[in-house]
């Protein structure tokens, strides 16, 4: 009987051991076991848009390439194709026709296009100070813009808004006016030759060829339209306001990054524009800084748009005979894109 009892006990112990083992296998997680995999919803595909530039890739567009290369566009849910331009690039028509979502132009050209029936709205102004200028040889001893128009030869586009402004203010009767050809060869060769220029372009090219240019800004004379203005059509703002706001914020981040370190974007643009070497890219990036960063942008953020400046520009274009009537600023300047209160001030 004892033997049978001990065998029975052993059998029971074996059964209990097996049961405990199974229970252990079924024991609830202690927190150290791998968690069960969860289904993660895929991220929405980025919205694809196009940005058409009104000139070839140069530092005046550096912030756009920086926004792309730094991932700013991606972070804001966008995939942006940047299209280089050139002389006569029909950017306002492209945006108006819906071929591209965004483009760049000057503020005066935007208002002229609006007067022709294209419902365009500005979003962001890169150049707060117009880079338009007149350059002369230092050897002439000229110390003011007014003296430029007292003699010699001047290459300029009289029909351009800034040309019309200078003609009305100073007159062209004492200076020989010739067409502007876009280069600096005649300037370098002729000490009495003056020409229109961009502060970020022709003066640097002339210096590189051993010349001695002195520049006078048109903005200092009272004509200071924003330049490299990002714009779109009103229909897009109404249809996809979140995408437009995301684009503007990404552009602002891109320009902040470019101003802090232009080299990465310059390297990208240099591959797209072989006419400008690395040294010139760096020099232009430095020269344009005070045209982009001003007291107002430091207070309100890069790209800020001023209602007063747009009103002044409209009146000037009417005064110059380029518009029949100054458009109401409320027709095209949207409060959410003025920069005031919504922007992140640059450091």
| Number of neighbours of residue 107 by Cβ within 10 angstroms | 25
Q: What is the pLDDT of residues 57-95, one digit of tens each?
A: 999 999 999 999 999 999 999 999 999 998 889 999 999
Q: What is the pLDDT of residues 108-155, one digit of tens each?
A: 999 999 999 999 999 999 999 999 999 999 999 999 999 999 999 999
Q: What is the pLDDT of residues 28-64, one digit of tens each?
A: 444 444 554 566 667 789 999 999 999 999 999 999 9
335: pLDDT strictly greater than 60: yes
Name the CATH superfamily for 132-221: Periplasmic binding protein-like II (3.40.190.10)
Environment class of residue 84 by beta-carbon count within 10 Å: exposed (0-12), middle (13-18) or buried (19+)? Answer: middle
What does the pLDDT read at residue 338?
Answer: 83
Sequence ranges of the domains in the chain:
47-129+225-337, 132-221
What does the pLDDT read at residue 165?
Answer: 97
Domains 47-129+225-337 and 132-221 share a fold: yes
345: pLDDT strictly greater than 50: no
What does the pLDDT read at residue 159?
Answer: 85
26: pLDDT strictly greater than 60: no
User: Is 47-129+225-337 a domain of CATH 3.40.190.10?
Assistant: yes
Q: What is the pLDDT of residues 286-334, one digit of tens each?
A: 999 999 999 999 999 999 999 999 999 999 999 999 999 999 999 999 9
Please give the C-alpha separations between residue 190 and each of 18, 145, 211, 215, in angstroms, as whole numbers. Answer: 105, 19, 10, 16
């Amino acid at each position: 009987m004892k033997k049978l009892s001990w065998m029975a006990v052993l059998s029971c112990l074996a059964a209990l051991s097996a049961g405990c083992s199974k229970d252990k296998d079924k024991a609830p997680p202690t927190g150290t076991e791998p968690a069960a995999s969860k289904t993660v919803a895929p991220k929405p595909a980025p919205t694809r848009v196009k940005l058409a530039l009104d000139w070839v890739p140069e530092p005046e567009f550096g912030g756009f390439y920086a926004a792309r290369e730094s991932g700013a566009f991606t972070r804001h849910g966008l995939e942006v194709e940047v299209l280089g331009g050139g002389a006569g690039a029909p950017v306002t028509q492209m945006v108006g026709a819906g071929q591209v979502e965004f483009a760049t132009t000057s503020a005066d050209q935007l208002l002229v296009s609006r007067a022709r029936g294209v419902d365009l709205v500005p979003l962001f102004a890169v150049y707060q100070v117009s880079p338009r200028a007149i350059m002369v040889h230092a050897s002439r001893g000229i110390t003011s813009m007014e003296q430029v128009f007292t003699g010699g030869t001047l290459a300029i586009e009289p029909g351009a808004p800034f040309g019309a402004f200078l003609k009305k203010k100073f007159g062209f009767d004492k200076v020989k006016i010739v067409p502007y050809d876009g280069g600096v060869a005649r300037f370098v060769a002729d000490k009495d030759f003056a020409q229109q220029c961009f502060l970020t372009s022709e003066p640097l090219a002339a210096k590189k060829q051993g010349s001695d240019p002195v520049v006078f800004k048109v903005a200092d004379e009272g004509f200071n339209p924003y330049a490299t203005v990002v714009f779109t059509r009103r229909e897009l703002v109404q249809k996809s306001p979140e995408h437009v706001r995301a684009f503007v914020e990404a552009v602002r981040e891109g320009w902040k990054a470019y101003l802090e370190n232009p080299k990465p974007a310059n390297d990208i643009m240099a591959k797209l524009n072989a006419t400008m070497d690395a040294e010139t890219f760096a020099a232009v990036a430095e020269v344009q800084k005070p045209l982009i960063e001003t007291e107002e942008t430091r207070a309100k953020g890069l790209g800020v748009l001023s209602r007063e400046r747009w009103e002044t520009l409209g009146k000037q274009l009417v005064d110059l005979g380029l518009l029949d009537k100054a458009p109401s600023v409320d027709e095209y300047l949207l409060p959410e894109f003025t920069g005031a209160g919504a922007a992140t001030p640059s450091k």
